[in-house]
Structure 1
Amino acid sequence: MRTAIYTRVSTDVQAEEGFSLDAQLHRLHSYCESQGWSIVGIYTDEGFSAKNVHRPQLERMLNDAQAGKIDVVLVYRLDRLTRNVTDLHQLLEIFDRHGVGFKSATEVFDTTTAMGRLFITIVAALAQWERENLGERVRFGQAEMVRQGRYFGHTPPYGYDLKDGVLSINPVQAPVIRLIFDRYLAGDGTSRLAKYLNDSKNNIPRPRGSDQWSMKVINAILKNPVYCGYVRYGNQPRNKAANYQPIVAKSDHERIVQEYEWRRAQALMEQRRTGGPRTGTGVHPLVGILRCGKCGGPMVGRTEQAGKSGRVTPYHGYMCNTRRHARTCDMKMWKRDVIEGALIDELDRTVHAALENNFYPPQVEQKDHAQIESQLTLMKARRRKWMDAYERDLISAEDLRDRLNDLSRTEDQLKSRLHAHAAQTSPIRLDEFISIKTAWNVATPLERRELIRTMVETAWVFPDGSVKVDLRSDL
């Protein structure tokens, strides 16, 4: 009798309870010797659950059975083969169709009779019930851990280490998380972020189990509340019920980003998901808010090559998207500097008008607000300085962690002062616009994009080159 031996364990606990692979193989070898059966194949799935049949060695065994290489399949116990009634019937049907018998070394089954098939079905149903009941207990325990603010799982999220069930900052990975949130809030999309993180020149540590950063991984990081001090259970339910809500609870572990920053990232992701055309993140920071004053269509960034005397230089501008695709609008393409300069001038006029209408808080409050903003800008510059020093091996990972923690504490204090100050002043936050022209001149393209979007809802460009600005309603 050509015999195929199938063994399986899914956890270390099963091995401790006597179901180890060695124990199963020893018993099955002895059984074959007692029956005078010859072993033609040993198929072992280690670390696989019996909840389905998607197991590499089981599939290989089924292929051999269908090829006529096996007369009987021998297992230590039925639940080593499957814990699902439906899968059991499918497997027995395959065995029967190809003349393959099935035998358990510790249980008495006779699949040639109706009573035998009923008995084996009952045993499989009990195994399935045991698996599902165990799963419910495990899920309940995990959910309760989260409600208590404790992290569950054996693998910590990127940016953290896990010891005795407690998350702690990983000094090498945490700055990468900080970088991802900073650049995303400044305008980078997940595609641009992946490109930056994968650039070997930046020497960014890779995510666990992969040699590349992907948009999917970055998206998951941005959505994970663990980075602002929370733990979560039930992120992606299998049933995808419309009313399903994951369990989220405050935790005591150290956060990497502030909660308001994480919430800003969620709002930005939702805006990009439900919004219109992609917003500019590079050399055209006004893309996404600029609209054509003739047809109402969005204006997009355009870079063309222009040259004189054999020299070729890039020409950056904004073009009506309707003209570009449908050719039904004759709005000219405007040079980037012209439109951006006109927009800044229009914002300055808005600020002066607001001053005349006493929208600004007293001058002493303006000065205090500006000083806090200046100190926060300095904190960001220092953060970049320490990260650059670490990348050049000028400071250790421990030094980097200590310095970043000090910066975070100082930033928290400054932001608390800023929020307290804002609560005592006018709800119209026009005091933030005072140094717009100065800030624009020294800002990077990403910072310019973020600066404009904090103030402007829509900017209309007209054929004469003038710009009309609609301020955000929440200012």
Structure 2
Amino acid sequence: MLAACYIRVSTDEQAEQGISIPAQKSRLLSYCQARGWEVYGFYVDDGYSGKDLDRPAMQRLIEDAAAKKFNTALVLKLDRLSRRQKDVLYLLEEIFEPGGVGFKSVTESFDTTTPFGKAALGMMAVFAQLERETIVERVRMAKNESARQGRFMGGPAPFGYRYNFGAKKLEIDEIQAQEIRWIYDRYLSGKLGYGYIAGELERKGVPGPTDERWNKTSVRKILTNPAYAGLVNHKGSVYQGKHEAIISPEKWREVQVLIKSKGAVRAAAGVHTGLLSGIIWCGECGARMRVKNVWQNYPRLSPKKVTKYYVCYSQDKTGSSHMVRDPDCRCGYKHADEIENEVIQQLYIYSYDKVLLRQAVNESLAAAGDKRSFIRGINQARKDFNSVEKKLEKWCDAFEKGALEPDELVERVKELKERKAYLHNHIIEMENRLKEENERKINTEELLEILQNFTRIWENATADERREIVINTIKEVRIYTDNRIEVEFNL
């Protein structure tokens, strides 16, 4: 066996007994003689720290190992190779093992020339992976905590702000902030869209965000960014920020309601030919109903008289066969204008009944569940998660100090990693459920505000905007043979 003996001592370790260069060289030589190994050479890094691999003798060792000039790399202690597990694992897996070079520590049970030594190497890989996962998880949790504390989450400062690196927070750029206030006021006038506002900013010669031209997207981003109301948005959750607001939270919420009422938040999928398309059903058989235009005075073209109906898919078999629920259904052709006018009338009635609206909102929010129980569950899971991390670190330290047997370590790590993975998934699930409940509350309150201002919004809305209002406020409409209409609202 041809052995390369690696020796390292830092400046701080020069005086330590047994760590000096002569002491290490003597121990390594004695070990080789006892084993009958031949010494290829001594690789000595005198006065170098073990924090990285940037050492002259270490680099020579790596080059000679790659050239297969020796069979085994020998050290007195593992930390002579490096004090970082990541570097040790790199040397063992990426340098020594591919070249068929073994590794042996005189004072520790690391000997990759034996099956047991290779198992120890596998355990080191486990800990290296655990270290990487722990770092990623800590970064994620640190970001979440920063958001909860209202800190700016990084990236370019929003238009209207500049970042103060000394104070580590956003500060208002008053010149740009004036434009932000102007954008919000112009949009709240109710008559101007994103494109028109962007055009006015271009005509005024206002520099756009990151010096780009103003467009619909840049205006919409400003109108929907909660940062301007002094809030921090992180992964769908909104927290009170530490920075000063440019506009009031009330004005920001008013803009969000207006955006939603115009259908800018939830656009319709595809082009619909009827106000109720997609939410109207046959009350008799349960099939969907679709719009059908009938040419009443065929084949006359002048004047051409076309009447629009809603008809059940089961009765009108010219559509998709999979939409049919009862081939014998005879719900009938329903005049679309009459049906739509009746539904609109019910929307008016519903919006006028303040007591009914508030009762519906309270019932909807009550169904959302207890928010406090979710928060308690998340906090407990995080506490358990941190406890598991500490235990993993403790067993890792114990193993490195030789206080724990390898087989016992593997079993303990396995159980703890399974527990950690379970808690990680549980926290994500609980956070998602809490987010859904928060969104449900926000959507319910926004919908209430739309209905309370229904008359003004409806009368000023375009045809497309009216459809958006309908599909946001109404869950479904059912029509029966006797022309009875049932409307179920989203509240």
Q: TM-score normalized by structure 2?
A: 0.37
